[in-house]
Amino acid sequence: MKKITLPMTKEQLKALQAGDSVLLSGTIYTARDCAHRRIFELLDAGMVPPFTLEGAFIYYAGPCPAPQGKATGSCGPTTSARMNAFAPRLLDLGLGGMIGKGEMNEAVRAALVKNGGVYFAAIGGAGAFYANAVKRSELVAFPDLLSEAIYKFEVEDFPLVVAMDSHGTSIY
Amino acid sequence: MKGNSMRILDTKEIENCVYRLARQAGLRLTDSCRTALKEAELLEGGAARFALSTVLENERIAQREGMPVCQDTGMSCVILELGQEVSLSGMPIADAVNEGVRRAYEDGNFRKSICDPLTRVNTGDNTPAHLHIDIVEGDNVFVTFLPKGFGSENMSRLNMLTPAEGVEGIVNTIVETVKIAGSRPCPPIVVGVGIGGSFDGCALLAKKALTREIGSSNARADVAAIEREALEKINALGIGAQGFGGKVTALSVLCEIAPTHIAGLPVAVNIQCYCVRCEKEVL
């Protein structure tokens, strides 16, 4: 499997093709339904989001609490389609792409093409497996959301499949 | 009434049982699920096979490290079949069940996934459990714990068909629901189907169907035929594990049936992801 490391340039992202299996390392940010709503509230109020969107990757996930000695608890992907309403605007603001599970819609596909972004699929239901690939975790924002808070993960060899590439091709 | 033959059971025992089952359920798949996934792995290639091997490896890691197999440790569905010769003492039964859930989710480092539907404020301890109680004969208490993830629950549907739509309509409804769900509910899925009953009773039948062993058949031949036909048509859709394409989109279709009204044909389709976790115990 091809190894890739974030941050990636637009050219590097363009080289990824739907269907490629990759092992991803680097920094990603967890966010799901509630965190997205909060980010949008900040953006609507003209404020900055809790992390720099430019080139960043969002991981659609809500981890379990970390057991002692672990960076995180189980942390597989959640269903990405619930974030269809949020992804295009974030991609327009510079987001590099997303990681989740399952298909996303036409608006997301178009936004990926327009902005040179990539959507990766992680293997749903593999929470313990992915937790072992998270080396460090840091709370970034919205602690009151518990598992839905934004965490910064440093990951090593996260196994993913390129689900939608920057050329408009989708595996679904 | 033979009052002196009643068995007295302290609800603390039910609390402790729910605690045990919840802790176990979070960390492992059912035996029939694991077997079905291994069979599916052999049938598939490419990304679908990779997804299936990963989820089997994931369970081994979860067991070894005492971590939940899936971060969605679910809404806690508890089904109690309470023998009518049992007299309960101690705290109210719903409190006992919730206390078992609360302790298990805290001690197990499970995710707390229950919130107010409008404010979205988390209850913080995964309660309340979804508790269903049936009164049955005898003096046993059968406890079933099904942590239900919502990636798959979200793709479930209840359909009020007309009697004229018949078996063909039932099969089409099941297959159409799975088709619409596509890659989203973590296929290969298990499909729990309720046929008949009332609006609410039909949905409950579908949920109860999900507590059956994967690959088992309904005792009624005509119902088992619906299970087989629907499974065959679902697997012809080609969705495959995680929607990566493949021969196995569903591991099993499990139908439960109940008498309904002469004017109706309710069909509930409750989708379960491939992380089937379900634990049972008799008290």
Q: Mean of the pLDDT values across residues B60-77?
A: 96
Residue B214 pLDDT > 80, yes or no? Answer: yes
A67 in contact with B, Cβ within 8 Å: yes
Within-domain flag for B31 = no
Do B15 and B136 lie in a common domain? Answer: yes
Contact between residue B231 and residue B253 where contact means Cβ atoms under 8 Å apart: yes
pLDDT values of chain A reduced to their tens digit, one per residue, 172 residues: 899 999 999 999 999 999 999 999 999 999 999 999 999 999 999 999 999 999 999 999 999 999 999 999 999 999 999 999 999 999 999 999 999 999 999 999 999 999 999 999 999 999 999 999 999 999 999 999 999 999 999 999 999 999 999 999 999 9
Report the alpha-carbon distance of residue B73 to residue A79 in Å, rounded.
Answer: 15
* Cβ-nearest to A147 among B67, B111, B184: B111
pLDDT value for A126: 96
- Please, what's the b/e burial string for B163-191 (b: 16 or more CB within 10 A of its CB; e: otherwise)? eeeeeebbbbbbbebbeebbbbbbbbbbb
Domain-embedded: residue B144:
yes
Supply the pLDDT for residue A165. Answer: 98
- Whether residue B180 is found in the same domain as residue B207: yes
Task: Give B5's pLDDT tier (boundaries 50, 70, 90).
Answer: confident
Domain count, chain B: 2
Asked if the Cβ–Cβ distance from B71 to A75 is below 8 Å, we say yes
CATH architecture, domain A2-164: Alpha-Beta Barrel (3.20)
For the cut 70, the answer to whether the pLDDT of residue B1 exceeds it is no
Question: What are the domain boundaries of chain A?
Answer: 2-164
Q: What is the mean predicted confidence (pLDDT) over B77-92? A: 97
pLDDT at A84: 98
Q: Which domain holds residue B82?
A: 7-26+69-148
Q: Check CB contact under 8 Å for A63 and B67.
A: no
Residue B113 in any domain: the answer is yes
Q: How far is CA B28 from the centre of its chain?
A: 14
Mean pLDDT of B148-167: 97
User: Are residues B154 and B256 located together in one domain of the fold?
Assistant: yes
Do residues B250 and B191 make contact, with C-beta atoms less than 8 angstroms apart? yes
Boundary-marking domain end, from B107, B129, B148: B148
Cα-Cα-Cα-Cα torsion B235, B278, B123, A74, nearest 10 degrees, comes to: -70
Q: Is A169 on the interface with B (CB under 8 A)?
A: no
Residues B163-179 have pLDDT tens digits of 999 999 999 999 999 99
Q: Is the pTM of this model over 0.90?
A: yes
Residue B52 lies in a domain: no
Residue with tokens 């093709």: A17
In a domain, B54, yes or no: no
> For a pLDDT cut of 70, what percent of chain B falls above it?
99
B54 touches chain A (CB under 8 A): yes
Question: Looking at residue A26, what is its pLDDT?
Answer: 98
Catalytically annotated residues of A = 36
Same domain, B204 and B142: no
For residues B95-111, average pLDDT: 97
Residue from the list A21, A76, A161 with its beta carbon closest to the beta carbon of B70: A76
Q: What is the rounded average pLDDT of the residues B194-210? A: 98
B3 pLDDT higher than 60: no
Domain boundary, last residue among B102, B120, B148: B148
The Cα–Cα gap between B63 and A153 comes to: 23
Contact A63 B61 (CB under 8 A): no
Name the strand (E) or helix (H) holding B111. none
Q: Which of the listed residues B104, B130, B148 is the one where a domain comes to its end?
A: B148
Distances (CA, A) of B140 to A142, B86, B102, B145: 46, 7, 24, 16
Across residues B236-253, what is the average pLDDT? 97
Instruction: Note whether B131 and B158 are same-domain residues.
Output: no
Question: Is the Cβ of A65 closer than 8 Å to some Cβ of chain B?
Answer: yes
B183 touches chain A (CB under 8 A): yes
Residues B216 and B130 in one domain: no
Reduced to 3 states (helix: H, G, I; strand: E, B; else coil), residue B36 is helix
Q: Is B187 found in the same domain as B129? A: no
- Kindly report the CA angle at B8 between B7 and B11, in degrees rounded to 5? 130
Asked if B69 lies within 8 A of A34 by C-beta distance, the reply is no
On whether residue B19 sits in a domain, the answer given is yes
B71–A62 C-beta distance less than 8 A? yes
pLDDT at B79 over 70: yes
Q: Is A79 on the interface with B (CB under 8 A)?
A: yes
* Chain A residues touching B50 at Cβ < 8 A: 21, 123, 159, 161
Smallest Cβ–Cβ distance between A103 and the set B72, B184, B273 belongs to: B184
Are B165 and B248 contained in the same domain?
yes
pLDDT exceeds 80 at position B199: yes
Indicate if B118 and B144 belong to the same structural domain. yes
B188 and B261 belong to one structural domain: yes
Helices B166-181 and B221-235, axial angle in degrees (round to 10): 40
Q: Is residue B37 part of a domain?
A: no
Confidence of residue B4 (pLDDT cuts 50, 70, 90): low
Please report the pLDDT score of residue B39 as a whole number.
97
| Within-domain flag for B51 | no
Q: Which residues contact B207 (CB under 8 A, 6 or more apart)?
A: B77, B132, B146, B148, B192, B194, B270
- Residue B195 near residue B254, CB atoms below 8 Å: no
For residue A61, the chain B residue with the least C-alpha distance is B71
Residues B191 and B272 in one domain: yes
Summarize the confidence of residues B201-220 as an average pLDDT. 98
Does pLDDT of B34 surpass 70?
Answer: yes
Clarify whether residues B201 and B144 are in a common domain. Answer: no
CA atoms within 13 A on the CB side of B127: 16
